[in-house]
Structure 1
Amino acid sequence: MERGPLPPRALIVTVLGLYVREFGGWISVSALIRLMAAAGVDEQAVRSSLSRLKRRGIVEAERRGGVAGYALSEYARQVLEVGDRRIFAEREEHTHDWAVVVFSVPESERRKRHALRARLSWLGFGTVSSGVWIAPGRLADDARDVLLADGLDPYVDLFRAEYLAFGDPAAKIAEWWDLAALEQLYADFRDAHEPARRHWAAQEQVPPGAEAFSDYVRALTSWRRLPYLDPGLPTDLLPDSWVGTTAAQTFFALHGTLAGPAHDFVTAQAGAARPG
């Protein structure tokens, strides 16, 4: 996963999603620059990334109390709420029920077709055929919410289903999802962040500070897209010794150790910058 430096924009999105809703959905530019400096991102990269996020409709420039800053867009808030349910949910054993999306988009609206496929991939759906996509049944609500928010619902029928016949479900899973690529991403995450887990596990107490904040933000930035690429397939349908299990153990250990100290660091650095 982390074979090169993490993109500044990805780190900023992580910080926005973690903390800015708590600050009333807004953060000053100066406070964000201070925070990102602690994560190794320089001021120019912060400002450039914010401009791109504004163009994408993730943030909106807004002054509060005469202070320049950025507010999360309503669209970003909706996406983050879905993300909370996926990113921080520890794996549960799932039954073999499925959410099935069947869609048809006219050729004259091919951009909508591309957007629909991109959204389904982002949600973790696998491809049965060009117009039939599948995911574990627990993702049906997320799919409905996201497709409605994106205005893609007129093209879609959403079903709950179970597999009855005529093949081996485990073999079908390997056709519908690229499990080898996903397992490599999990291995990359584990290799990149297991040293930090061991480091912090050896500490009697973890104080708030830039190091705890940086390690937590970097781990979460690396982790947060994996629960989308991995829809949480039933364990008995996955290969033996699934690396995703140990990768999740690494992430949730770091989350349990560093989330509190990182939050305290952010509050000290950025909380005072909130207009009253």
Structure 2
Amino acid sequence: MKPQSMLFTIYGEYVRHYGSEIWIGSLTKLMGEFGLSEPAVRAAISRMLRQGWLESRKVGNRSFYSVSERGKKRLEEAAARIYKVESSAWDGKWCMVSYNIPEERRALRDQLRKELGYMGFGMLTTSTWISPNNLREAIQELTETQEITEYVEVFAAEHVGLRDPKQLVQKCWNIDEINAKYKEFIDSYQAEYEELEERIREKKEVPDSLCFVNKTKLVHQYRKFLFIDPDLPQELLPELWLGKEADKLFQNYYQLLNPGAVRFFETVYEAAPV
């Protein structure tokens, strides 16, 4: 597990619910539960500071790190997608983004493509991306932040042919690969979940530290689907779609682990004095 990616998980799953700020000593102890060394944690924090995800302040001789406004927004977006509620019926509309960014601003173009993929857009052509979800406001905010509004257009579109909407989905997203990743997730965690469920049913002791490690790993792994699953409506999903089964497993296992995980976090967590 990469330290920076794990830090995002720790902040998103725990720290943001406790004022979004934590002492470096608490962070290194929490990360140490995953075998990550203090130098590795400090190096990851430095990168996140440079990238604008974190902010720091000193209280006496102690350093405390909090999530920046940019970081809070990204964590909230991720949480909304991980713990999503059942969506309403699809209205048949597509959100279409078309752009023409000059070659001299290629780095921004590459960043835009990466962000579009994260949002769940699929590439229809090199510079035209589509999503069945209404993401107009998110696109507007993104282009304004990157100062590329003049190069981007957004449309609410209706697909009138020449192929079936599910064929369009197959063209723009690798559904088979996403399904395979969901199968890997289920195969990795089903037995682990059932074993813990049995231990709890038999009233056997389950250490809080184990709950913390397993829950954090669970969220860490499931969070990866944010980068590959476009969150398609039911009407566009294939008959064999393992996303629902994986989500149910995630939610059930999460509920078993969460109380102990939070208790362990609270024994380690230290915020800055008021």
TM-score of the superposition, structure 2-length normalised? 0.89
Structure 1, 189-198 or 199-208: larger mean CA deviation: 199-208
Is the Cα–Cα contact under 8 Å of residues 98 and 135 in structure 1 kept in the other structure? yes
Q: Which residue of 2 aligns with 1:24?
A: 19
- 1:246-265 alignment, distance < 5 Å: 246-265=245-264
Equivalents in 1 of 2:96, 2:11: separation in Å? 32
1:273 is displaced (CA, Å) by 4.4
Equivalents in 2 of 1:58, 1:137: separation in Å? 27
Gaps (5+ residues) in structure 2? Answer: none
Q: Which residue of 1 aligns with 2:273?
A: 275
Q: Which residue of 1 aligns with 2:99?
A: 103
Match of 2:190 among 194, 207, 210: 194
Q: Which residue of 1 aligns with 2:216?
A: 217
Residue 156 (structure 1) aligned with residue 152 (structure 2): yes
Letter paired with 2:140 = R
Residue 71 (structure 1) aligned with residue 66 (structure 2): yes
Equivalents in 2 of 1:261, 1:150: separation in Å? 41
Equivalents in 1 of 2:184, 2:100: separation in Å? 36
Equivalents in 2 of 1:49, 1:265: separation in Å? 23
1:199 is displaced (CA, Å) by 2.4
- 1:70-149 alignment, distance < 5 Å: 70-92=65-87, 94-95=89-90, 96-149=92-145
1:205-233: CA deviations, max 9, x gaps?
A: 78671111111111111111313421221
Structure 1, 58-67 or 168-177: larger mean CA deviation: 58-67
Equivalents in 1 of 2:117, 2:107: separation in Å? 15
Q: How many residues align?
A: 270
1:164-197: CA deviations, max 9, x gaps?
A: 2221111111001111221222122222222332
TM-score of the superposition, structure 1-length normalised? 0.88
Q: Which residue of 2 aligns with 1:233?
A: 232
Letter paired with 1:265 = F
Match of 1:166 among 147, 162, 165: 162
Residue 177 (structure 1) aligned with residue 176 (structure 2): no
Partner SS, residue 22 of structure 1: helix
Is the Cα–Cα contact under 8 Å of residues 21 and 271 in structure 2 kept in the other structure? no
1:128 is displaced (CA, Å) by 0.8
Partner SS, residue 215 of structure 2: helix
